[in-house]
Structure 1
Amino acid sequence: MTSFKIEWKKSAVKELRSFDKPVIQKIIAAVDKLSENPFEEGVKKLVGSNQTYRKRVGDYRIVFEVVFNKLIIEIIKVGHRKDIYR
Structure 2
Amino acid sequence: MVTFDVSYSSRSRKFLKKVDKILAKRLVEKIEKLMENPIIHDTKTVEGSKGLFRIRVGDYRILYEVDYRNNLIGVIKIDKRRRIYD
TM-score category, normalised to shorter length: over 0.9
CA distance in structure 1 between the partners assigned to 2:35 and 2:25 by the alignment: 16
Are the equivalent residues in 2 in contact too, given 1:53–1:64 (CA < 8 A)? yes
1:5 maps to: 5
2:28 maps to: 28
Partner secondary structure for residue 82 of structure 2:
coil
TM norm structure 2: 0.94
RMSD: 0.9
Q: In percent, how many aligned pairs have the same letter?
A: 35
2:38 maps to: 38
Greater than 6 Å deviation, 4+ residue runs: none
Structure 2: where are the runs of 5+ without partners? none
Structure 1: where are the runs of 5+ without partners? none
TM norm structure 1: 0.94
The count of aligned residue pairs is 86
Query: By percentage of residues, which structure has more helix?
Result: 1
What letter corresponds to residue 10 of structure 2 in structure 1?
K
Are the equivalent residues in 2 in contact too, given 1:16–1:79 (CA < 8 A)? no
CA distance in structure 2 between the partners assigned to 1:45 and 1:70 by the alignment: 20
